[in-house]
Chain A
Amino acid sequence: MKEGLRQSMAWLHTWLGLLFGWLLLAVFVTGTTAYFQDEITRWMQPEIAGERNLDASAEGALAYMKAHAQGAESWTIQLPGRRSVAAMGYWKEKGETYRQWRDHAFMVDGRGRKVDARDTTGGWLLYRLHFDLHYVPVLWGRWAVGLAAMFMLVAIVSGVITHKKIFADFFTMRLGKGQRSWLDAHNLTAVLALPFHFMITYTGLVTLMSQYMPWGIPAAYERPADYYRDHLGADAPPTRSGEAAPMASLSAMIRQAREHWHGAEPGFIAIALPGDANSVVKITQETGAAMGTRGETLSFDAATGIMRRLPPVKGGASQTESVMVGLHAGRFAPPALRWLYFFSGIVGSAMVATGLVLWTAKRRQQLPDPSRPYFGFRLVEKLNIATIAGLPFGIAVYFIANRLLPTGMAARVAWEAHWLFIGWGSVMLYVFLRPPRRAWIESLGIAGAAFFAVPLVDAATTDRGLLRSLIAGDLVFASFDVCMLVTASLFVCAAWTIHRRPVATIRVGRSAKASIA
């Protein structure tokens, strides 16, 4: 009985892992980079310098909109989180949709002054790639990622059931032994961060659960709008009175909010009908203020600056959801914990990557003629290389494009993203044209070269290259460039390791460190 269960779970685990492996690898890699999306965005806008100052930025953004956006339907200020410097402001004219916000977006630095920084989506693109994918409608992307996550959840459960001696083999990894090594590496990376993997998968599903599993809403509410009102505490939007009324001090409102939140910072300010007597200012807590990421929103009467009725206290289930999303996004994490999150994400990526390579390693031994594998095997092998080396290469190209694309060019934001996929696609094409072993060595080498090029291009095109950053004590920029160099060396090491292995034992014993790409 037990043997049968283990075997069927192993079978389930293998096929689920394979079918969605490449998508899961992309999700893991982009998600891991997203833990540093704020830092990445900062690096991608080198024009913005200085320290963060919430109040100055808020007032600066407000002043700009008072001068340029009178009569707008709403003004919005996205305040910088703890790891950012600049605030972003935008407004919405009457009749516009929210999609057009980019037309009216501007950035304000810590001194309250508008800055002209190159147009970029920065680290936020990688974050959005993580669940929206790209080039497909957002809903489709989320369904695909959700399905992959569900498969992963079941893969975790089946993996645990299958590996019943889960701790007996825990502490060793037999390197240099072909398929056995890959299995050990896969087990180690999977079990090492098992609590993280399980948590990240389940909470990931929870972040988009209202899309995946909305059936509770019509079952309990006759009108879905009532659910959203209960859940988000939204009051009816204000109607225009026609009377003009100057806004009370925004700083004073921010101060009230901070006091109410015992020192926690605001993250988002939305002003409806600015300049009107009925205008309302909504200040939302920053998403990283607590583990529960859904911060409270306080409403103020814009003309008087008086706080309106407090939102209702959240119940247990709502708080659980907030904490679950918070755990997934890790916005609350201070630096040490953030690096742990990042490291766990790398381990997770390694788990998926080693699993994919394990599939081919295991079946290579069963091939009747190793020099002529069947189509499915060749396909999996090529896709493995294309994803494991290609996606990181694409990300490096994205960073390089940020430095090289002209700052004034049209559709710059779209083109930076295109370059990521052009890079990835090129590797994919290249890989399909080369024999497998050369494909591994060359594509890993190319990825290493690209990451190596990032700090070089940075130093050549901006005044915030690695040496200058180190001298100036600019930790964020320096760390970014250093990380690029470290990543480059890991890829080059991996390529070199494969190159040095005798051809008879192809792909045997790449060191575990090198496989953690």
Chain B
Amino acid sequence: MRQTVTSARPSRFAHGLQVASRALVALVGGYLAAALYTAAMARFLPIARVEAVMTGMLSSFAIYACVAVMAFAVATATRAWLWLALVCVPPAIALYVSMHGAGA
């Protein structure tokens, strides 16, 4: 498992913490990202509503899988969280603005 080594040998606790952190990104963060992109696709794709909703749902699992793999592929757990934020923020903002902003 790659991780930043701050001392000569990371303790088992520190290692466990890293794993748990990444697991959180993968499991919960992955679902969050998938849900956000599903919603965004449903709302913003310029096709019939029912089709947009379907497209979003169909692609959601691919997004989930990508985030999950990313969580364990990047160098540190912190980087995993950063990437997760990078991925989640754009659809989150777009959805928020669309649903609450601009005179809605």
**Which A residues form the contact surface with B (CB < 8 A)?**
4-5, 7-9, 11-12, 150, 153-154, 157-158, 161, 202, 205-206, 209-210, 212-221, 227, 230-231, 315-318, 320-321, 324
**Are B54 and A213 touching (Cβ within 8 A)?**
no
A221 to B53: give the CA distance in the assembly, Å.
9
- Bound-state Cα–Cα, A391 to B60, Å: 32
Question: Is B2 a contact partner of A213 (Cβ separation < 8 A)?
Answer: no
List 8 additional A-B contacts (Cβ < 8 Å) besides A213-B61, A315-B51, A321-B57. Answer: A9-B69, A213-B34, A215-B36, A215-B42, A216-B56, A218-B39, A219-B42, A317-B54
Q: Chain A nearest CB: distance from B11 CB in Å?
A: 18
Could you jot down 5 A-B contacts, CB within 8 Å? A154-B26, A154-B68, A213-B38, A230-B50, A315-B48
- The residue on A at minimum CB distance from B34 is A213
Bound state CA distance, A209 and B62, in angstroms?
A: 12
Known: A153-B61, A206-B61, A213-B60. A320 touches B35 (CB 8 A): no
Interface size on B, residues (CB 8 A): 36
Instruction: Assess the B72–A216 pair: CB atoms within 8 A.
Output: no
Which residues of chain B from 31 to 53 have any CB-CB distance to chain A below 8 Å in the complex? 34-36, 38-43, 47-53
Contact A317 B51 (CB under 8 A): yes
CB-based contact A216/B41 at 8 Å = yes
Contact call A210/B57, Cβ cutoff below 8 A: yes
The answer to whether B57 and A220 touch across the interface, beta carbons within 8 angstroms, is no
Cα–Cα distance between A84 and B65 once the two chains are bound (Å): 38
Q: Is the CB of A209 within 8 A of B73?
A: no
> Would you call B2 and A8 a contact (CB within 8 A)?
yes
5 closest pairs, A vs B, by CB?
A216-B42, A317-B54, A219-B39, A230-B50, A216-B53
Q: Measured between alpha carbons, how far is A205 from B63 in the docked complex, in Å?
A: 13
Q: In the complex, A481 Cα to B60 Cα: how many Å?
A: 43
In whole angstroms, how far apart are the Cα atoms of A94 and B28 in the complex?
Answer: 44
Residues in A whose Cβ lies below 8 Å from that of B61: 150, 153, 202, 205-206, 209, 213
Residue B55 CB within 8 A of the other chain:
yes
Give Cα A213–Cα B75 distance, bound, in whole angstroms. 29
Min CB gap B78→A, angstroms: 15
Interfacial chain B residues near A161, Cβ < 8 Å: 69
Closest to A233 in B: B50
